[in-house]
Amino acid sequence: MVAFSTLALALSAATGIFAAPAADPSADAPDFEFTSENRLTRRQDYNQNYKTSGSVNFSPSSNGYSVSFSGAGDFVVGKGWTTGTTRKITFDGSTTASAGTVLVSVYGWTTNPLIEYYVQEYTSNGAGSAQGQKVGTVTCDGSVYDIWKHQQVNQPSIQGTSTFWQYISNRQTKRPGSGTVTTSCHFDAWKALGLNLGTHNYQTLSTEGWGNAGGNSKYTVSGS
């Protein structure tokens, strides 16, 4: 299996949540939404686009992305937010895999501690990144997930070559298409098992593939 942390060579977050005081919402500014903290936040402001080899045709949009791929050695593409949080992420679309291993996950990083995390919704082979040690299960949004932790030693990360942990919630039955991920449900379950996150970096819905992966994905993404 390709080390998952290689996908971290995608652009790291450069900006955070806009902290300007909220004014009256305007229909003329569809690229912004008002959060529960009453801040103005750019909606889906982060495009994740990384590949090592093969054909990967990634097309981001204002509220999602599409990608077709063949012979892909390792890639990850997606749409999300420059700064992750405990948002509820809703996605609508589908993935078809014809070769290799293909995942669709809510994906992100934290720092202090440096953590790479996955909530895997679709895994073409039923296992995805389920490596390392299984430490528990959790039911979120009506679905059961196995919880894994795995240490990456001297691997690429958003802070350069580092040793860090991966936290993984792997849905026991792959989701055929649309769905919702309440990230706080997973984060709380991880914390109860001693798997603590740090300060959030970017957070996306992403399609990943390796092992001469072939197929396609298309999704719209929103968060609240």
Q: Which of these ranges, 10-14, 44-48, 102-106, has the smallest mean pLDDT? A: 10-14
CA distance 89 to 16: 18
Tokens of 214: 């072939």
State yes or no: pLDDT of 47 exceeds 60: yes
State yes or no: pLDDT of 32 exceeds 50: no
Pairing, β 46-51 against β 64-81? antiparallel
Domains and CATH numbers, the chain: 56-223 (2.60.120.180)
- What is the pTM (predicted TM-score) of this model? 0.81
State yes or no: pLDDT of 12 exceeds 50: no
Q: Tell me, yes or no, if 121 is annotated catalytic.
A: no
What rounded mean pLDDT belongs to the chain?
83
Pairing, β 88-111 against β 55-61? unpaired
Q: In the predicted model, what is the mean pLDDT of residues 46-57?
A: 93
Tens digit of pLDDT for each residue in 54-86? 999 999 999 999 999 999 999 999 999 999 999
Read off the DSSP letter of residue 13.
Answer: P
Give the active site residue among 33, 37, 121, 208.
Answer: 208
For residue 17, what pLDDT is reported? 25
State yes or no: pLDDT of 49 exceeds 80: yes
**Residue listed under structure tokens 């054909």:** 55
**DSSP codes of every residue in 23-65:** ----TT-TTEEE-TTSBEEESS-EEEEEESSSEEEEEEETTEE
For residue 197, what pLDDT is reported? 98
Query: Residue 30 contacts by C-beta under 8 Å, 6 or more apart in sequence?
Result: none
Helix/strand number for the chain, H first, E second: 1, 12
pLDDT band at 36 (very low <50, low <70, confident <90, very high): very low
Q: Tell me, yes or no, if 37 is annotated catalytic.
A: no
Ramachandran region, residue 211 (left: φ > 0; alpha: ψ -120 to 50; beta: rest): left
Give the active site residue among 33, 37, 116, 121.
Answer: 116
